[in-house]
A and B are shown apart, each in its own frame.
Chain A
Amino acid sequence: MTDIKIKITDREGVLHEIDAPTDMNMNLMEVVRSYELAPEGTIGICGGMAMCASCQCYIESNHELPEKSDDEEAMLAEAFNVEENSRLGCQLHITEDMAGLEVVLAPEES
């Protein structure tokens, strides 16, 4: 099992340095859920289909990440609290290239 270290700042501002597996076909949203970094029912509401923005996060490090798909672009165009570095966690599959990734969870939408 191959793990990488990533840093996730939760919605309370607490920084978590966690081990994310690269061999379980997980995405960032699922990692956040598995570490319970946000209350149940507040992250990944649509199940990971880029159809809600509950897993929106801000990418703080300079990693080259996969391009946004049309679905992700479209969802971010309707989401709130969107910044230049916004991504949907459900669309970011964990790979070894992401070692050292730093992300901040976007505020929960009201």
Chain B
Amino acid sequence: MIKTDILIIGAGPTGLFAVFEAGLLQLKCHLIDALPQAGGQCSEIYPKKPIYDIPGFPEVLAGDLVDNLMEQIKPFQPGFTLGERAQTIEKLADGTFIVTTNKGTKHHAPIVAIAGGLGSFEPRKPLLENLTKYEDNGIAYIIKDPEVYRDKKVVIAGGGDSALDWSIFLADVAKKVTLVHRRSEFRGALDSVEKVQHLKNEGKIDLITPAEIVGLYGESKLQSVSIKKSDSEDLITLEVDNFIPLFGLSPKLGPIGDWGLEIEKNAIKVDNTLDYQTNIPGVYAIGDVNTYPGKLKLILCGFHEATLMCQSAYQRIYPDKKYVMKYTTVGGVTGFDGSKKEAPKAVVKAID
């Protein structure tokens, strides 16, 4: 059982900054995220896109913002449960919570802060008949263990970085890799596109473009797919062991929607803008995942909400302690790792 003071669900910018604000109050944080890395949308959807409305940064790439946030919270040594989705919440008699992920990892905390952004990111699934029939029986949307594909006939669909990168990787693992994309141009990194071209020339990857998978066939397990090229009415049938559609991710509120929280317009309603607490005392919602009158879905608003949430969480954990908000310029930053950042002391010198 992982124990912490504030359990943050969602490791996007708002969740990460909450670690910093909690750290200033000497509260420990642990973050859960369905994605395998921290950063939320910024890392997953647009790491190379510039953001222009972060105070103090005339322009910052989303990925760099995440890197900076990770650096900023390093002294507060947050824990991470990545690649797992927060599935259930249980309120104990003492008012604390146990949150369990889809992989069974349990977390115990007096405070739960949902910073889930647009929700957990789920794979975008192609609109194909029998798709669900073959899920885990030949179809997978995420490659967890490449060894599963050793000496197998694999078809990958998609035109982004994931499709290119996995085609390149599996070219040395699988018996045969076929990459199917709806057009001949790829949106992935130029270097990856060139590598795929090279592997195609070497005969290590079969490329079928512009084309789409239109049919899935097999008894209990996927055995073949049919492919339609845009410039032909004929169908190509390929015997396959595995089909991996890599069409990116789309956000869903997911299991959080069943936690008994008030939901309005796909977002968690918070009762007030004093501390962003939900209808379940001790459970907060901050950042893009919440809604209240006047809500703006901006990273900087998430930072503000995270700050107020932490103050409220402190009072909830230590109801008898009076906390006075301090400025970092005065109090410095004391990390859990023993590090201390503070302004240099002024030199006092007497004048004769």
B is a partner of A: yes
How many angstroms from the CA of A102 to the CA of B41 in the assembled complex? 32
Stretch touching chain B among A13-21, A41-49, A58-66, A89-97: A41-49
Contacts of B40 in A (CB 8 A): none
One of A41, A45, A46, A82 near B265 (C-beta < 8 A): A41
Say whether A46 contacts B46, CB under 8 Å.
yes
Restricting to B142-193, which residues have a CB under 8 Å from any CB of A?
A: 158-160, 181-183, 185-187
How many angstroms from the CA of A51 to the CA of B47 in the assembled complex? 11
Query: Is residue B340 within 8 Å, beta carbon to beta carbon, of the partner chain?
Result: no
Query: Is residue A73 within 8 Å, beta carbon to beta carbon, of the partner chain?
Result: yes
Query: Is residue A67 within 8 Å, beta carbon to beta carbon, of the partner chain?
Result: no
Query: Is residue A77 within 8 Å, beta carbon to beta carbon, of the partner chain?
Result: yes
Contacts of B37 in A (CB 8 A): none
Query: Is residue A74 within 8 Å, beta carbon to beta carbon, of the partner chain?
Result: yes
How many angstroms from the CA of A107 to the CA of B113 in the assembled complex? 33
Query: Is residue A40 within 8 Å, beta carbon to beta carbon, of the partner chain?
Result: yes
Minimum CB–CB distance for B173 against chain A, Å: 24
Query: Is residue B195 within 8 Å, beta carbon to beta carbon, of the partner chain?
Result: no
Say whether A49 contacts B46, CB under 8 Å.
yes
Count B-side interface residues using an 8 Å CB cutoff: 28
One of A40, A54, A74, A81 near B185 (C-beta < 8 A): A74
Say whether A73 contacts B127, CB under 8 Å.
no
Say whether B265 contacts A77, CB under 8 Å.
no
Say whether A45 contacts B160, CB under 8 Å.
no
Say whether A110 contacts B46, CB under 8 Å.
no
Given contacts A46-B46, A80-B126, contact A41 B185 (CB under 8 A): no
Say whether B49 contacts A110, CB under 8 Å.
no
Say whether B250 contacts A42, CB under 8 Å.
no
Q: Name A's interface SS.
A: loop
Minimum CB–CB distance for B116 against chain A, Å: 12
Contacts of A40 in B (CB 8 A): 265-267, 291
One of B124, B181, B250, B253 near A77 (C-beta < 8 A): B181
Give the nearest-CB partner of B186 in chain A. Answer: A74
Say whether B266 contacts A45, CB under 8 Å.
no
Say whether A109 contacts B267, CB under 8 Å.
no
How many angstroms from the CA of A31 to the CA of B183 in the assembled complex? 30
Query: Is residue B118 within 8 Å, beta carbon to beta carbon, of the partner chain?
Result: yes
Query: Is residue B45 within 8 Å, beta carbon to beta carbon, of the partner chain?
Result: yes
Say whether A77 contacts B187, CB under 8 Å.
yes
How many angstroms from the CA of A46 to the CA of B118 in the assembled complex? 10
Contacts of A70 in B (CB 8 A): 185, 187
Contacts of A109 in B (CB 8 A): 124, 250
Count A-side interface residues using an 8 Å CB cutoff: 22
Contacts of B78 in A (CB 8 A): none
Give the nearest-CB partner of A108 in chain B. Answer: B250
Given contacts A39-B266, A52-B45, A110-B127, contact A78 B251 (CB under 8 A): no
Contacts of B267 in A (CB 8 A): 40-41
How many angstroms from the CA of A88 to the CA of B235 in the assembled complex? 29
How many angstroms from the CA of A78 to the CA of B127 in the assembled complex? 12
Contacts of B291 in A (CB 8 A): 40
Query: Is residue B336 within 8 Å, beta carbon to beta carbon, of the partner chain?
Result: no
Say whether A110 contacts B125, CB under 8 Å.
yes
- 24 pairs from A and B in contact (CB 8 Å cutoff): A41-B251, A41-B253, A42-B266, A45-B118, A45-B250, A45-B251, A46-B45, A49-B49, A51-B45, A52-B45, A52-B250, A54-B250, A70-B185, A74-B185, A74-B186, A77-B159, A78-B159, A78-B182, A78-B247, A80-B126, A80-B127, A81-B127, A109-B250, A110-B125
Beyond the given pairs A41-B267, A80-B127, 20 more chain A to chain B contacts, judged by CB atoms under 8 angstroms and listed by A's residue number, are A39-B265, A42-B266, A45-B118, A46-B41, A49-B45, A51-B45, A52-B45, A54-B250, A70-B185, A70-B187, A73-B183, A74-B187, A77-B159, A77-B183, A78-B159, A78-B160, A78-B247, A80-B124, A109-B124, A110-B125
Residues of A within 8 A of B (CB): 39-42, 45-46, 49, 51-52, 54, 70-71, 73-75, 77-78, 80-82, 109-110
Shortest beta-carbon contacts, A-B, top 5: A41-B266, A40-B265, A74-B187, A77-B183, A77-B182
